[in-house]
Amino acid sequence: MATSVSATCFKFGCSANQVFNTSQISRGVKLVSMGWGRSTAGFPSLRTFRLRVAAAKAETVERVINIVRKQLALPPDTKVSPESTFNKDLGADSLDTVEIVMALEEEFGIAVEEENSENIVTVQDAADLIEKLVEKK
């Protein structure tokens, strides 16, 4: 779940024309991008930034990682983290992704709607969605 936020300033100790790249602020909250600059008309402008809030418990993330390892038959030395993307980092194709979602549904006793499954890009995305669906049960 990614949330886009615009604001005048959150007290991150920032100054004008300073840009932050992806960095971990605290457990569960990641600053994706943030910065200030000048518009073409010379007026100060605030660039938007997005905060990513990771709601899933570590136990849920670990269970998702184990299922992904099993479904993709990954070697034990393959690094799988919450930030791992299914396609780019783990080499999953669309059929693999469908099978992973089906295994997650079975493991957690949930039903993932197609529009929700299209938003799953990383292991953390999957874990966050699972937590959300389990809470609704």
Distance (Å, whole) CA 131 – CA 123? 12
Distance (Å, whole) CA 34 – CA 22? 9
* Residue 93 annotated in active site: yes
Residue among 129, 124, 97 nearest 111 (CA): 129
CA-CA distances (angstroms) from residue 118 to 46, 78, 84, 124, 133? Answer: 31, 24, 16, 14, 15
Candidate list 77, 93, 96, 125, residue with the active-site label:
93
Please give the angle made by the CA atoms of 76, 67 and 24, to the nearest 5 degrees.
Answer: 80
The DSSP call for residue 87 is: T
Would you name the residues annotated as active-site residues?
93
